[in-house]
Chain A
Amino acid sequence: MIRVLALLLALAGPAFGAVGDPALQLPDAAQEERARGIGRELRCLVCQNQSIEDSDADLARDLRRIVREQVSAGRSDAEVVGFVHRRYGDFVLLRPRFSAATALLWATPAVALLAGGLRRRAPRRRPAASAASVPGALTEAERARLARLEGGAGGDRAA
């Protein structure tokens, strides 16, 4: 039983904490926490759907190291993010900044909601009533045909 538990724990190992190797961690826990926070905001450009904190790519490791060097050198979060942003552009930010280029991206949810609201508010127009479309009303041709059928049937019965 204990052996099974140990095996399960070993298998679950990667689920605990970040991939970061311990050699990279900062001795100061508060600084390490800040570095992780910054790293989680930065996209790994190799795997692209992971942050550099989650990625095991070589480049992500290099960037994690750079983030930690700068944090321990006393740079602010904005300065560290700015350092990476200047080199890799908007794409590296997992939460893109609001700019002329990203305005449409940020505005899309609002625009979609607004469009949906307008669509709901717009009164639904019923098709204009005409003789032909009123239920039960007959066209001239139908009336004539009905009269012929009724007339004809009556005539037969009378005969």
Chain B
Amino acid sequence: MSRRALLVLPALAAGGAGLGFFAMLRGMGTGGYDPRGVPSALLGKAPPEFQLPPLEGAGLPGLALSDLRAPGRPVLVNFFASWCVPCVIEHPQLMRLSRDGVPVFGVGYKDQPADSRRFLERHGNPYARLGVDLPGRAAIDWGLYGVPETYLIDRGGIIRWRWAGPMTEDTLRAELVPLLRRHA
């Protein structure tokens, strides 16, 4: 190796690493990169087998895998809880999606039915179906590690996208709406 290469290669490597770190820091600022984020193991697969009872008194059907098999159009499955503060931040986005005609299915994660009902009365109901997962077992089959989490299931019933944490207006604009369009 020539002397010049010995000088240039480390400089190039350091420059590349610097650019990478800069991109990571920028992503952390804009929310595009989350160092604690865990990619879902279910992307590109069908959702797991599950069957959840409806929320009593909400007048909505429950949720099961059969509702997600080849739904014919993209649908969202949103895990939430009344005790989850980021879920309150996310709620207006779910309301908007539901108003725009996107089917949003909900799962109440470790949430007492009475608390879920109060949450929906207070903030509005975006859900077309709502399952109650009090023990949180179905959530583990989905690979959930916190609430809120949102999954996009395409028209063929395959999970295409998972968002861990609250969806903001930016999330909708930058990620979800283009995906909905692509999978419509």
Give residues in A with beta carbon < 8 Å to B.
45-46, 48, 58-59, 62-63, 66, 85-91, 122, 125
Contacts and interface: CB of A to CB of B under 8 A. Distances in A.
Contacts of A48: 36
Interface stretch (B20-28, B71-79, B100-108, B137-145): B137-145
Contacts of B41: 85-90
A96 B21 CA distance: 23
B40 A89 contact: yes
Interface residues of B, number: 18
Interface of B: 1, 3, 36, 38-42, 48, 110, 136-137, 140-143, 145-146
Given A89-B38, A89-B40, A125-B3, A58 B140 contact: no
Contacts of B140: 59, 62-63, 66, 87
Given A58-B110, A63-B140, A122-B1, A46 B40 contact: no
A124 to B, nearest CB: 10
Question: Interface of chain A, helix or strand or loop or mixed?
Answer: helix
B136 A87 contact: no
B110 A87 contact: no
B1 A88 contact: no
Contact of A59 (B36, B42, B145): B145
A88 B144 CA distance: 8
Contacts of B110: 58
A59 B149 CA distance: 14
B145 to A, nearest CB: 4
Contacts of B1: 122
B99 to A, nearest CB: 32
Contact of A45 (B3, B38, B48): B38
Given A62-B137, A87-B142, 7 more contacts: A62-B140, A85-B41, A88-B38, A88-B143, A91-B38, A91-B39, A122-B1
24 contacts: A45-B38, A45-B146, A46-B145, A46-B146, A48-B36, A58-B110, A58-B136, A59-B136, A59-B140, A59-B145, A59-B146, A62-B136, A62-B140, A63-B140, A87-B41, A87-B48, A87-B140, A87-B143, A88-B38, A88-B143, A88-B145, A89-B38, A89-B41, A91-B39
